[in-house]
Structure 1
Amino acid sequence: MKTTTAILIGIIGFIVVLGGCVGCSAVNLQRSGTALEENVKAKWGNVQSNYQRRADLIPNLVSTVKGEANFEKSTLESVTQARASATQIKVDPADLTPEKLQQFQAAQGQLSQALGRLLMVTENYPNLKANEAFRGLQAQLEGTENRIKVSRDDFNAA
């Protein structure tokens, strides 16, 4: 009888210890999941911040180009329209769905294409290429594009 009681107490003790371990693991798993989710939100915030930085550079770039050259009006309009479209789309980090991300990326892609056309056309204007303000803005835009790539890579890794 004493042996049966000792075995029963041992089994109950083992179950209690095992339950405690499982409970601790569940709490750690939940904390880890929350930390990962917060990391993804922070990385997405960095992506949006870098895209906003690029959008903020565009009005200065467009006005510098307008002031320096008798520029193709349609090119400037397409950049301005693409910027307006891209800045209207906001993706809440708490609600990151593939559809919303795709919509955001499509608008940003259109803006990238419009900027690419603008920079290609500027090659035809030597005075513009010599303008310090334009060169500075072009360098800032290039740096911002690099930041966007890094922040997108970080977001994808998270």
Structure 2
Amino acid sequence: MKFRTALVPIAALSLSACGLNSVPTAEENAKAKWADVQAQYQRRADLVPNLVATVKGSAASEGKILADVMNARAKATSVQVNANDLTDPAKVQQFQAAQQQLGGSLSRLLATTEAYPDLKSQANFTTLMSQLEGTENRITIAIRDYNQAVQDYNTRIRTFPDAVGAKIFYGAKPMTPFQAKAGADVAPTVNFGNGN
């Protein structure tokens, strides 16, 4: 009887070191950070119609760029990745590609506004641009936080002793970090001659 009583604390201690609590905690943290990334992209998508409406009033001749922005927004908001899809690199990549397309369209739109100095002086445009810039910064921070949470989770499920519980009890799989598209380190070229 004393032997059994002595084994209970030892068993509890060994189980606590096997990731029974830390693995799901790290996984839920990464999922919460992904939700933050999605929320910031949604904020950007919500700002785009107002920005486009403001620009349309002053830059009607640049309709193609505005249409590109609206089409990219529609595509970006149609691609959904939920927390259960974070272990599927293809789904995360599809989400990233749609968001990068919207970002590229916005870059062209912003470059177009340089040709319309009177547009920049409009209070609504200035306010929207400020909100959009703040949102882009929030997106960057949310992605950084998500990638850190994914790194923490992936490290936890691969290192002893948490790897034991991660494999045996949860069947844990590594999550996919958010990655920049190849060539994202090169500044985009703006050429008004061909509509890009």
Do the aligned partners of residues 44 and 138 (structure 1) sit closer, same or farther apart at CA in structure 2, a change above 3 Å counting? Answer: same
Aligned equivalent of 2:38, options 48, 53, 56 = 48
The reply to whether residue 135 of structure 1 matches residue 126 of structure 2 is: yes
Deviation track 1:127-157 (CA, whole Å, cap 9, x = no partner) reads 1011110011000000000000000000000
Size of the aligned set, in residue pairs, is 147
Q: What RMSD over aligned residues (CA atoms) do the two structures have, in Å?
A: 1.8
The reply to whether residue 105 of structure 1 matches residue 79 of structure 2 is: no
- Match of residue 33 from structure 1: 23
**Contact 1:44–1:155 at 8 Å: present in 2 too?**
yes
- Match of residue 6 from structure 1: none
Correspondences of 1:6-85 after superposition (within 5 Å): 13=3, 17=6, 20-27=9-16, 29-85=19-75
Distance in 2 (alpha carbons) for counterparts of 1:139 and 1:63: 16
The one-letter code sitting in structure 2 at the alignment partner of 1:43 is K
Secondary structure (helix, strand or coil) at the match of 1:30 reads coil
**Structure 1 unaligned residues grouped into runs of 5+:** 1-8
User: Aligned-pair distance for 1:27?
Assistant: 4.0
Distance in 2 (alpha carbons) for counterparts of 1:36 and 1:66: 45
The one-letter code sitting in structure 1 at the alignment partner of 2:66 is L
The one-letter code sitting in structure 1 at the alignment partner of 2:146 is F
The one-letter code sitting in structure 1 at the alignment partner of 2:135 is T
TM-score, structure 1 normalization: 0.86
Deviates more, 1:86-95 or 1:65-74: 65-74
Deviates more, 1:91-100 or 1:129-138: 91-100
Aligned-pair identity in percent equals 50
The one-letter code sitting in structure 2 at the alignment partner of 1:75 is I
**Contact 1:86–1:111 at 8 Å: present in 2 too?**
yes
Secondary structure (helix, strand or coil) at the match of 1:71 reads helix
Secondary structure (helix, strand or coil) at the match of 2:129 reads helix
TM-score, structure 2 normalization: 0.70
Distance in 2 (alpha carbons) for counterparts of 1:141 and 1:152: 16
